[in-house]
Amino acid sequence: MKKIIYAVVIFSCIVFGIFSVTGQAAYSQGKKTSEEGKRVIAHSEADAHKAVEQGCRIVRKIKTLHAVVCSEKTADILGFEEDVRVFATDAGANHQIGADTVQAGGNTGAGRKVVVIDTGYNYLHPELASSYLEGKDFVNGDDDPMDDNGHGSHVAGIITADGINPQAKGVAPDAGIIAGKVLDAAGSGFFSDVVAGIYWAIDGPDGIASTSDDFHPDAINMSLGTARPYVYKNFCDSVLPDVTAAIQYARQRGTAVVVAAGNSGSAGVSIPGCVSYSVTIGAVDALDKIASFSGRGNAVDLTAPGVSIFSSYPGGYATLSGTSMATPMVSGVIALLKAAQPTLSESAVESKLFKTAKDLGRRGKDPTYGWGRVNAQATVSLTEGTHKITPRAGDHPLHDAHEE
């Protein structure tokens, strides 16, 4: 086989390499308020006048109520009531997949762990701080996985954002995140770092299996993959055998490896999504229609919402589209499922996900939707048995390796 140098580049930019983050930016950052400082309420003309004398600015007057913007320090000195921010209550993708119903029943993924292998993790973001457990930076060779791109924090927020802004609430807001930074500030990196990240996710910091520092994650989320021409309509296990071996290793030790199908549309599925041991995720819109960019091929197992997904981002929030956004939806559902049924094997987790998916496209499994759109409510509610799926004629046996 011809030797190929596999580099990484973010998919929402011009592709100069062949490995990319599979998210497309609708906005580079969430919309910022034009007001600098803290917004508080003055309940009388006298209080409003006092605030103005202290350098505050009146931004709204309703009868005797004045909304004023002050510096943080001045607002604290004045001691006025904070003008509390409100948000639209649209549950968005969480409602589409039934995760909001699972959460309403008391299951928020508490006690479960997901490893996010991406551009890093902004552990200082208010939506993400409480979920951070541990991390490693494979790009710079240290233990600080701070996100200098934004993609990884957006992906992680889809899994576990606290919901300070309810529209950004994660699928499993009480799950913990272990962050492996394998992509740099430009969203690029190398498969050798991805492979190292997978083994680290399973074996822990000491690199030795079955020791006290093992993380025991329920899922590894990889919203990344190759771009054209390195996409495949069938399985690609022999193309990068080290990647295949690492994913198989994780699965054998009870961890689902959830991977984006990529954004190459009908051209095929990217590596490592086309590896037969991956749980490979395509993207649908809010109406469960396949996204035009969603990678298609025999490796696709499931779809999830991946169009205009609102989540945490450096400086606030952002709305992004891509199979990168669909993939953590499924990782979050796995956290919910394992919170409800912690003794499930990895194969049983996969079986329940596939069995309960909302069938879309052709009946049964197909190269566009896989088994269908993930259904958190049905998956978590399905408690009896492992519900093995017998593939239809033309389907691949689960995890049987093929190559285009």
Catalytic residue ranges: 118, 151, 324
Cα atoms found within 13 Å of the Cα of residue 100, Cβ hemisphere only = 14
Q: State the DSSP code for 267.
A: G
- Between the alpha carbon of residue 376 and those of residues 66, 95, 103, 266, 313, the distances in Å are 44, 10, 10, 27, 24
Gap between the Cα atoms of 51 and 39, Å rounded:
11
Residue from 80, 98, 2, 84 nearest 41 by CA: 80
Exposed e or buried b per residue across 50-76, where buried means at least 16 C-beta atoms within 10 angstroms of its C-beta: ebeeeebeeeeeeeeebbbbbeeebbe
Gap between the Cα atoms of 187 and 115, Å rounded:
18
Sign of the dihedral defined by the CA atoms of residues 37, 39, 40, 45, in that order: positive
Name the strand (E) or helix (H) holding 354.
Answer: helix 346-356
> What values do phi and psi take at 187, rounded to 5?
80, 20
In the structure encoding, which two tokens stand for residue 266, read together?
């009908």
- Between the alpha carbon of residue 242 and those of residues 2, 75, 193, 196, 272, the distances in Å are 16, 57, 11, 10, 11
- Between the alpha carbon of residue 317 and those of residues 82, 112, 154, 175, 270, the distances in Å are 22, 25, 8, 20, 27
- Cβ atoms < 10 Å from Cβ of 42: 25
